[in-house]
A and B are shown apart, each in its own frame.
Chain A
Amino acid sequence: MSNEVFLRRLLRVQNLSVSFLQAGTFHQVTHGVDFELMPGKVLGIVGESGSGKSVTSLAIMGLLPKDFARIETGSIEFQFAGRAVELVGLSKDAHRALRGKGMAMIFQEPMSALNPVMRCGEQVAEAIRLHQPDLTEKEVQDQVIALFKEVQLPRAEVLVQSYPHELSGGQRQRVMIAIALSCNPALLIADEPTTALDVTVQATILALLRSLSESRGLSVIFITHDLGVIAQMADEVLVMYQGKQMEFGKVSQVFQQPKSSYTKGLLACRPVLGQRYERLLTVKDFLEASSEEDLKLPVQAPDIRTAHLQVLYAQQPLLEVHDLKLWYPQKEVFWQKPSYVKAVDGVSFTVFPHETLGLVGESGSGKSTIGKLVAGLQEPTSGSLSYKGVVYDQMNGAIRKLFRRKVQVIFQDPFGSLNPRMTIGEALEEPIKVHGLRKSASERQKRLVELLEQVSLPASVLRKYPHEFSGGQRQRIVIARCLAMEPEFIVCDESVSALDVSVQAQVLNLLKSLQKELGLTYIFISHDLSVVKHLSDRVMVLKAGKCEELQEADALYLHPQTAYTRQLIAAIPETKFY
C-alpha cells in the first residue's frame, strides 16, 4: 500500500525552510514544512499574513525573488512525465520548463495579474504557443475558445477579443484560470484567488475550481486565510502560523478535532452566522488559555437581546437620512444628454443612539459612499440628512465644526491612514489641539495615555512611528485617534477587512466594548455579512445604490425577505464542520 502511494504521489514537500534577506542578513521565514499531495486532490493551505503560505507556494513554482530569498533546507519532489523531479536546486531554465506544463499558478489580484494592453485571448494563446509549438494558429485559437468555454466564460468568441479592463473581476479570474489550464498542468496553485472578489462571485469561482479538479484530475493547492473557503474546497488542509506548520491532515479531521490551539483559535475567531456572541474568541485567547473555562463563548440570550433592542428603538433617532442620492453625470459626447452613474439612489434610514447599523453589499453597491455622505465628506446630489434633529444643510460654521468632530470615520487601510512621518503621539495629539479639547500640554499628555489605554496599547508607543506597528496595532491607533475627538457617532468603513481573521476578532471585540463604555453609535460597513451581523443591531442590504432590505440583524439572517439577500447568505462559505 505505502509503495503504491509513493508511486502515485504528485508532490512531496519535506522539511522545507526558506529564508529572506532582511536588513542585510537572511532570516528564516518558514521552518520545516512537510506535506504531500495526491493527483486530483485539493490541498488547502491556511494561515495569516506572514505565515509563510505564499512563500511555500512560490518555492514550488520557482518564483521566489532570486536575490532576496533562498531555500535553506528541505526537498520538493514533483512527479512530471513519469519520473520524480527534485525542485530544490533545479536550474532556472529547467524549472521554467516545468511552469505552464507541469504546474501553473493563479493569483489574488485578477485586476493586476493580466497584462492590460494585451487581448485576453492572446494572453492564453501565448502560453499555448509556447508549450505546443507544433500547433497551427487555427488550432491555437480553437483551443483558446474551448478553454474560455471550459472556465464558463459567457460569449467566449467575443471575450477573446476583449481587453482585461472590459471584464469584471470574476471574469478576469476565469481568464487567469484559462491561462493556467492552457498547458494541461498536473498541479494548479491558487494563491488567494477569490479574496479580492465579491462573495457571490467567489462562490462561482470556487465551484468552477472544484469541478475542474474533478473533471481534469487536477491537483490544486489552494492558499487562503478563510477557513470557510477551505471547508468548502479542500480535501486536506495545512495550517501555518509564523512560518511553522501547525497542522496537516484531512479537512474533516482538522476541523472537528483540531490538535493545535492555534487551529482551535482560528476556527473560533470567525463570527458564526447562526449565533450571537457578546464577543469573539481570539487566537490569543487560545494560545494563552489555562483552562477550558477561559474559552467559553459568551452567548447573548434572546430575551436580553429583545430587551436591548426595545430600549434602543424607544429613543429619538440620532441620525435621519431621507431619500439620499448621489449621481455622477457621465458625458459620452458633448451634444448628448448626460446619463448618470447612480452611486446612491434614494436611500432612507434612521440610526438610533448607541445602535450599530450594518451596511452590507457587494462592490459598487454604494455602501462606502453612504458612509462618506453621512460623515459629511461628500455632498449628496439631493436628499436630506439630519443629526440630532438639525438638518445638515442648515448647520452653520460652529455647529458644522462640532458635527465634524462628533461624527468620525475609520477607514479600511490602517497603513495609508497614518502619516508615516508623525509619531503616534503627534498623530493623536493633533486633533485634540485642532479642536482645542485640552488646553495645557500636561492635560493633553494625560489624555493620550488614557486613549491608548482604551485601545489596549501601552503608553510607550507614543514616541514610535507607524511603520513599527502591525496592521492590527495600527488600526487600534487609528481608533484611538478617532476617539481623541470625543465622537458620538463613528462610521466604520471596512475597518477590519484588511486585517487577518484573528486580529479582526480582536478589533471587533474592541469596537464592541468601546461602544458599551463610551455609548457610541456605529454605522458599520463591510462586504462580509457574517462580520456585519455579529456587530450590528440592524442590517441594511444594499444593491446598486438602492436599499434591498433593512431588518433586525438576526431576523435578516433567519428570514431574508429578498432573493438578493438569500443569495448573499447562501454564498458565504461556512465552516460547516462544527
Chain B
Amino acid sequence: MLSYLLKRLASGFLVLFGVVSVVFFLFNILPGDAAQMTLGQRSDIASLEAVTKELGLDQPMYKQYLLYLNDLSPLSLHNYTSEEQNKYGFTALVPLGSNRWLCAKAPYLRRSYQSRQTVNQIIASALPGTAILALSAMLIATFFGLLLGGIAALFAQTWVDRAAVSLSIVGISAPSYFASILIAYLFGFVWQRYTGLSMTGSLYEVDAFAGRSLALQNLILPAITLGIRPLAIIVQLSRNTFLEVLSQDYVRTARAKGLSEWQVMQRHVLRNALGPVVTAISGWFASLLAGAVFVEYIFGWKGLGKVTVDALMKFDLPVVMGAVLFIAVAFILINILVDLMYAWLDPRIRLQ
C-alpha cells in the first residue's frame, strides 16, 4: 500500500513538473511587457529598467525558467540577504559557500503585477470561498443524486423512475450560465420576500458597522446552481450501477438471508455501486475547485474562478500561472485520493 502511494506521488510530481514547464513557456511567449504592465501608465525609462531587472526579464529564457523553478521548489537556493529573506520567507538549512544557502520555504508564486500582493495571498483569500462552494455543491449533488438514483433503481420502469430520469436530463441539459441567471433572478429577486435570499453576495459580507461577518445564506443559491449538473449525472449513473448491482447473485443471497429491501440496499448494494459514482464525483469536484466562473460571476461570489478570469483579462500573469498550478495540484491530489478510496471500497483492488 505504502509503495503504491509513493509510486502515485512520484508520478504526480512528474505530472506537476510538466504542467509547470508548459505553463511557464506558454505564458512567456504571450505578447506584452510585464514591466510595462506592472508600472501601468506612469512609467519612465529608469523605473522600467529597474522593474525589468527585479523581475529577471533581462535574463535569457533558460535562466528565467530555472529561477522560476527555484521560486516554486520547497527546497531552493537563495542568497542569505535580508532582501531575499523578506521576499521568500525561507528557513536556511545548509550553507553552500559565498552566502548561498540551501533553504526550505513555501512555494513562492511571485507577486501580482496589478496589486503587488503575493499570489500566495491572493489564492489563500479566494480559496475558502471556492472550496466551500464546491464542497457544498458536491455534497448536495452526491446526497440527492444517490438518493434519487437509488429510488429510481428500486422503482425501475415505473413512473417514479421515468420522472427521475427525465428530470435529470433537464438538469444535464441546462447550461450553467443560463441556469444561474434564472435561479438568481427567480429566487433572489422575484421571490425574494419569500426566500429572503439576495441575488449576489460572498461567503463573508463586509458591513460598515459590524465589520466582516460570515454570510452562509449567500451560499445557498450558487451551491444549488452549481450542484444541478453533477446531481443529474449522479442520478443517472447511480441508477444504472444500482440496477446492475441489484441483479447480482450476492444481492439474491442477501435477500435469501431475509434482509429487508432497505437493508439490502444499504449494506450490500450501496458500497458495490459506489465505484463509478466516486469517479464522477471526484472529477466534478476537481473541476469545481478550478472555479465555477459563470456561477461565481453571476452571484458575485469571490472565488478562485473569478480571480483567475479577472487576472487573465488584465494580463496579470503571475496570478494566472499561480492559479493554474494550484488547480493542477488539486487535481493530482484528488486523483490519488480517489484511487485510495477505490482500494478502501473494494478489497479486490488492494491485492493488485
B347: A residues at CB distance < 8 A: 116-117, 163, 165
With A118-B268, A126-B267, A165-B351: A113-B259 Cβ-Cβ less than 8 Å: no
The stretch of A6-14, A102-110, A262-270, A509-517 in contact with B is A102-110
CB distance from B52 to the nearest CB of A (A): 48
Check if A107 sits within 8 Å of B249, measured CB to CB. Answer: yes
**Contact of A144 with B by CB under 8 A:** no
A112: B residues at CB distance < 8 A: 248-250
**Contact of B53 with A by CB under 8 A:** no
Check if A63 sits within 8 Å of B249, measured CB to CB. Answer: no
B254: A residues at CB distance < 8 A: 115
**Contact of A402 with B by CB under 8 A:** no
Check if A104 sits within 8 Å of B346, measured CB to CB. Answer: no
Check if A105 sits within 8 Å of B348, measured CB to CB. Answer: no
Cα-based distance from A118 to B157 in the complex (angstroms): 30
Cα-based distance from A67 to B158 in the complex (angstroms): 11
Identify A113's interface contact among B157, B253, B258, CB under 8 A. Answer: B253
CB distance from B254 to the nearest CB of A (A): 7
Cα-based distance from A179 to B255 in the complex (angstroms): 12
**Contact of A101 with B by CB under 8 A:** yes
**Contact of B136 with A by CB under 8 A:** no
Q: Interface size bucket, A side?
A: 20 to 34
With A117-B271, A117-B347: A99-B250 Cβ-Cβ less than 8 Å: no
Counting chain A CB atoms within 10 Å of each CB, which of B250, B271, B351 scores highest? Answer: B250
**Contact of B29 with A by CB under 8 A:** no
Cα-based distance from A117 to B267 in the complex (angstroms): 10
A166: B residues at CB distance < 8 A: 351
**Contact of B210 with A by CB under 8 A:** no
The SS class assigned to the B binding surface is helix
Cα-based distance from A109 to B271 in the complex (angstroms): 21
CB distance from B268 to the nearest CB of A (A): 5
Cα-based distance from A98 to B255 in the complex (angstroms): 11
Q: Which residue of B lies closest to A101 (CB)?
A: B258
**Contact of B11 with A by CB under 8 A:** no
**Contact of B257 with A by CB under 8 A:** yes
CB distance from B340 to the nearest CB of A (A): 15
Which residues from 235 to 274 on chain B have a C-beta closer than 8 Å to any C-beta of chain A? 248-250, 252-260, 263, 267-268, 271-272
**Contact of A5 with B by CB under 8 A:** no
**Contact of B3 with A by CB under 8 A:** yes
B57: A residues at CB distance < 8 A: none
Identify B346's interface contact among A101, A113, A117, A183, CB under 8 A. Answer: A117
Check if B258 sits within 8 Å of A130, measured CB to CB. Answer: yes
CB distance from B343 to the nearest CB of A (A): 11
**Contact of A149 with B by CB under 8 A:** no
Cα-based distance from A61 to B258 in the complex (angstroms): 10
**Contact of A114 with B by CB under 8 A:** yes
Counting chain B CB atoms within 10 Å of each CB, which of A99, A115, A165, A180 scores highest? Answer: A115
**Contact of A305 with B by CB under 8 A:** no
CB distance from A211 to the nearest CB of B (A): 22
**Contact of B197 with A by CB under 8 A:** no
Check if A179 sits within 8 Å of B253, measured CB to CB. Answer: yes
Check if B253 sits within 8 Å of A107, measured CB to CB. Answer: yes
A179: B residues at CB distance < 8 A: 253, 257
Interface string of B225-241 (1 = CB under 8 A from A): 00000000000000000
Identify B258's interface contact among A96, A163, A176, A333, CB under 8 A. Answer: A96
A105: B residues at CB distance < 8 A: 256
Q: Which residue of A lies closest to B351 (CB)?
A: A165
Check if A165 sits within 8 Å of B258, measured CB to CB. Answer: no
Cα-based distance from A340 to B250 in the complex (angstroms): 33
CB distance from B262 to the nearest CB of A (A): 12
**Contact of A127 with B by CB under 8 A:** yes
Interface string of A536-554 (1 = CB under 8 A from B): 0000000000000000000
Check if A100 sits within 8 Å of B345, measured CB to CB. Answer: no
B272: A residues at CB distance < 8 A: 115-117
**Contact of A97 with B by CB under 8 A:** yes
Interface string of A37-71 (1 = CB under 8 A from B): 00000000000000000000000010100010000
CB distance from A106 to the nearest CB of B (A): 8
Check if A100 sits within 8 Å of B248, measured CB to CB. Answer: no
Cα-based distance from A499 to B338 in the complex (angstroms): 43
Which residues from 74 to 103 on chain B have a C-beta closer than 8 Å to any C-beta of chain A? none
**Contact of A131 with B by CB under 8 A:** yes
B268: A residues at CB distance < 8 A: 115, 118
Which residues from 430 to 448 on chain A have a C-beta closer than 8 Å to any C-beta of chain B? none
A180: B residues at CB distance < 8 A: 256
Check if B256 sits within 8 Å of A126, measured CB to CB. Answer: no
Check if A131 sits within 8 Å of B258, measured CB to CB. Answer: yes
Cα-based distance from A109 to B247 in the complex (angstroms): 14
Cα-based distance from A206 to B336 in the complex (angstroms): 47
Q: Which residue of B lies closest to A100 (CB)?
A: B258
Check if B258 sits within 8 Å of A109, measured CB to CB. Answer: no
Which residues from 113 to 149 on chain A have a C-beta closer than 8 Å to any C-beta of chain B? 113-118, 123, 126-127, 130-131
A115: B residues at CB distance < 8 A: 250, 253-254, 268, 272
Q: Which residue of B lies closest to A127 (CB)?
A: B257
CB distance from B11 to the nearest CB of A (A): 13
CB distance from A298 to the nearest CB of B (A): 42
Cα-based distance from A107 to B257 in the complex (angstroms): 13
Check if B259 sits within 8 Å of A116, measured CB to CB. Answer: no
With A118-B268, A126-B267: A113-B257 Cβ-Cβ less than 8 Å: no
Q: Which residue of A lies closest to B348 (CB)?
A: A165
A123: B residues at CB distance < 8 A: 253
Check if B252 sits within 8 Å of A63, measured CB to CB. Answer: yes
CB distance from A111 to the nearest CB of B (A): 8
With A116-B346, A117-B271, A163-B348: A130-B249 Cβ-Cβ less than 8 Å: no
A182: B residues at CB distance < 8 A: 257
B249: A residues at CB distance < 8 A: 107, 109, 112-113
A97: B residues at CB distance < 8 A: 258
Check if A104 sits within 8 Å of B256, measured CB to CB. Answer: yes
B253: A residues at CB distance < 8 A: 107, 113-115, 123, 176, 179
With A105-B256, A126-B259, A333-B3: A113-B351 Cβ-Cβ less than 8 Å: no
Interface string of A162-173 (1 = CB under 8 A from B): 010110000000
New contact pairs (10) apart from A117-B272, A117-B345, CB-CB < 8 Å: A96-B260, A99-B256, A109-B249, A116-B250, A116-B272, A117-B271, A117-B346, A118-B271, A123-B253, A127-B257
What are 8 pairs between A and B in contact, CB < 8 Å? A96-B255, A99-B256, A107-B249, A113-B250, A115-B268, A116-B347, A118-B268, A130-B259
- By a beta-carbon cutoff of 8 Å, the part of chain B in contact with chain A is 3, 157, 248-250, 252-260, 263, 267-268, 271-272, 345-348, 351
Which are the 9 A-B pairs with shortest beta-carbon distances? Answer: A100-B258, A112-B249, A99-B258, A163-B347, A127-B257, A113-B249, A115-B250, A105-B256, A165-B348
